[in-house]
Amino acid sequence: MRRFAVTLLLSDWLKTACSEVDALDARLLAQHVLGISRAELICRPETGIDPTRQEILDRLLARRAQGEPLAYLVGEARFRARTFKITPDVLVPRPETEELVGHAINKLSESLVPVANVLDLGCGSGVIAISIALECPQAKVTGVDSSITALAVARANAATLAAPVEFFESDWFSALAGRRFHLIVANPPYIAADDHNLAGDGLLFEPRLALTDEGDGLSCLRAIIHAAPCHLESGGYFLCEHGHEQGEAVRLLLADAGFIKVESWLDLSGNERFSGGKVAQCAELEEASENFRQEALASWQARPCLPKTLP
């Protein structure tokens, strides 16, 4: 990498940096290290960079050029118009997960429950739980994670953003015996262990435990979906993010677990990325049972040489 002597102008550093990384990343690194705004960066290209800050910038630039996520270099990321602390102990928030929060908020808006209890399974940095708590003040939000270091980041974010979220350690539902929720949201590890994407796009720098189940990508979803009905109130809803080719498999898992009104949604790229289902209320169970009986009766009566009534 090219090195500069004496005091370097910001414009010269940016020119070199933009040849090695994306221009936006270079500008954000400069803003972070120099403590200047975007407007100052644009209006004052003649700003001098002292040798100490130049060394820091060059070191961060080299790390970014090697693929390390920008969020880890600057220690923060934007999510639903808020700034969250991000460390290598947690995943970098993705735009798709912003959409997951949007679907969760839509489900809460459909609920008639005055105070909805919401659970964020595997909360990581807390972006999902905190966003729901701030955008749905009527919700009582809990976030759990098996990583103590991730929970420390989540609690720090909640404190900074004044979000009333309860965080505690739990391996999925292990510490939630007897607790039920109106909405459970999950963004679990869903990348298969042999997926080549794990070696690209900066994923090598992110916590592997939060990315893959070291299996087929569905084992965490299987465990969560199987256990979720026992932790949902009658009429409660389960919602999850998953791989873009896992929609059909997740819908089958939801149906097998007894969820009704199972559906999936596309992300902004047109891929099936989110799925969910509802725990039936008593009336819905009776309706489903009656529908099943009528279908069975119709099938029975359509068969030749058999009695036209069920025993």
Mean pLDDT in the chain? 91
* Helix (H/G/I), strand (E/B), else coil: 291: helix
Residue 249's beta-bridge partner residues? none
Residue 151 pLDDT > 70: yes
- The mean per-residue pLDDT over the stretch 238-243 comes to 98
- The mean per-residue pLDDT over the stretch 233-248 comes to 97
Q: What is the pLDDT of residues 31-64, one digit of tens each?
A: 999 999 999 999 998 999 999 999 999 999 999 9
Predicted local distance difference test score (pLDDT) of residue 308 = 44
Residue 135 pLDDT > 70: yes
CA distance 118 to 139: 7
Burial of 82 (0-12, 13-18, 19+ CB in 10 A): middle
Residue 216 pLDDT > 60: yes
Class of domain 8-66: mainly alpha
Predicted local distance difference test score (pLDDT) of residue 117 = 98
Regarding predicted confidence, which is higher, 45 or 250?
250
Sorted by sequence, the CB contacts under 8 Å of residue 56 that are 6+ apart come out as 33
Minimal CA–CA distance to 24: which of 95, 75, 59, 74? 74
CATH code assigned to 101-280:
3.40.50.150
**Helix (H), strand (E) counts: the chain:** 11, 11
Predicted local distance difference test score (pLDDT) of residue 311 = 43
Q: Which two tokens stand for residue 208?
A: 């592997």
Using CA atoms of 69, 74, 79, 84 in order, give the dihedral in degrees to the nearest 10.
130
Residue 235 pLDDT > 70: yes
- Show the DSSP H helices in 228-305 as ranges: 247-256, 282-301
Q: What is the amino acid identity at position 279?
A: V
Residue 25 parent element (H or E): helix 23-34
Q: What is the pLDDT of residues 74-104, one digit of tens each?
A: 999 999 999 999 999 999 999 999 999 999 9
Minimal CA–CA distance to 185: which of 263, 249, 105? 105
Domain locations along the chain? 8-66, 101-280
Q: What is the amino acid identity at position 149?
A: T
In this structure, are residues 118 and 166 in contact, taking their beta carbons and an 8 Å threshold?
A: no
Predicted local distance difference test score (pLDDT) of residue 307 = 47
Antiparallel, parallel or unpaired: β 260-266 and 272-278: antiparallel
First to last CA, the chain: 84
In this structure, are residues 27 and 18 in contact, taking their beta carbons and an 8 Å threshold?
A: no
Predicted local distance difference test score (pLDDT) of residue 202 = 86
CA distance 231 to 183: 9
Residue 267 pLDDT > 70: yes
Predicted local distance difference test score (pLDDT) of residue 200 = 82
CA distance 55 to 255: 56
- The mean per-residue pLDDT over the stretch 236-259 comes to 98
Regarding predicted confidence, which is higher, 72 or 46?
72
- The mean per-residue pLDDT over the stretch 177-200 comes to 95
CA distance 85 to 68: 16
In this structure, are residues 121 and 185 in contact, taking their beta carbons and an 8 Å threshold?
A: yes
Residue 292 pLDDT > 70: no
